[in-house]
Structure 1
């Protein structure tokens, strides 16, 4: 019998505590965020899927192009890149997972193609790529255009840790191995 009175007492205490409390009319919490405008999101998605031909600001400047000769080997390392890693790159000991050939392209086409290629390689967390720039001597006797531009652009690209001319079997002084930053798979490479 005592248990029944205890239950009645507990029930009375519980009801007393709930006085003035109103039940919820829905089971969703108010996060304070506005609901997304579905029409606006659809228009943003549509705009993102349409290619607009505008001037692309990619950070690759042509203002100061470093002229290099047809047979000049290329080599550059960003600050903080270990010499051992660059030595492995130069010896072809870091396998390349992508290759791009810029032969026969105009400077502007080569620039856009290189930028898109490096962006895709970075997105895929590729460690090393090969860029074939060629080393054709120009008719006017000046230095090779694409090779000189690639040498300049790669130094400016934020994902490039370093580059060096390839081994003869991969294009020699007409191509470069390019070591790229990876951020997600193996930690930071800097």
Structure 2
């Protein structure tokens, strides 16, 4: 009789328990790792949602030196306009300073600035990227990226390093496309 009572007690004690389906043993990993992993997953998801698609690629950054003069124009931009831009004869209506920013922050700021300039039909702006003489001896990071991004931006017609009074090789005059607002004469 005692065997029946033990069996009944065991059956009552294990009611609702499911058998283990795996042959792996619990190694006793600390729960803290699971929480940290869950946190990393959440942060990764958040960062993906914050990533902006702006058409600017960092895959092939054109490496430039601190004192290198930058000069670029899309096909169709007149040589006379480029001479005027390089000479600082086209007045700039807006200015942006990217000093001290991370590459990603500079990218976002530049994109927003150019969008704002296009919205107001601005013809020419100045972008100060700096020369960033780096301690590790590498080329200027922001200057190299700005040089690459401006070539990719759909609103940019051309750019040239500034005259010394406007920042020299640490800044650019940037000529932008204009769509000519209705009713505006030029």
Give 1:91's match in structure 2, choosing from 80, 84, 87. Answer: 87
**Matched residue of 2:50: which SS?**
coil
Give 2:105's match in structure 1, choosing from 85, 104, 109. Answer: 109
Deviations 1:92-124 (A, max 9, x none): 110000000000000000000000000000000
Deviations 1:57-94 (A, max 9, x none): 10110000000000000000001111111110001110
Matches within 5 A, 1:72-151: 72-151=68-147
Deviations 1:125-177 (A, max 9, x none): 00000000000111110000000000000000000000000000000000000
Report deviation, 1:179: 0.0
Report deviation, 1:186: 8.9
Structure 1 segments, 4+ long, off by >2 Å, are none
Structure 1: gaps spanning 5 or more residues: 1-52
Task: Give the distance between the partners of 2:124 and 2:158, measured in 1 at CA.
Answer: 10
**Matched residue of 1:89: which SS?**
helix
Task: Give the distance between the partners of 2:63 and 2:141, measured in 1 at CA.
Answer: 8
Task: Give the distance between the partners of 2:137 and 2:177, measured in 1 at CA.
Answer: 36
Report deviation, 1:185: 3.9
Report deviation, 1:178: 0.0
- What is the CA RMSD across the aligned residues, in angstroms? 1.4
**Matched residue of 1:94: which SS?**
coil
Corresponding position: 1:71 with 2:67 = yes
Task: Give the distance between the partners of 2:108 and 2:72, measured in 1 at CA.
Answer: 21
Task: Give the distance between the partners of 1:186 and 1:180, measured in 2 at CA.
Answer: 18
Aligned length: 135
Q: Judging changes above 3 Å, is the alpha-carbon distance between structure 1 residues 154 and 186 closer, same or farther for their aligned structure 2 residues?
A: farther
Corresponding position: 1:59 with 2:52 = no
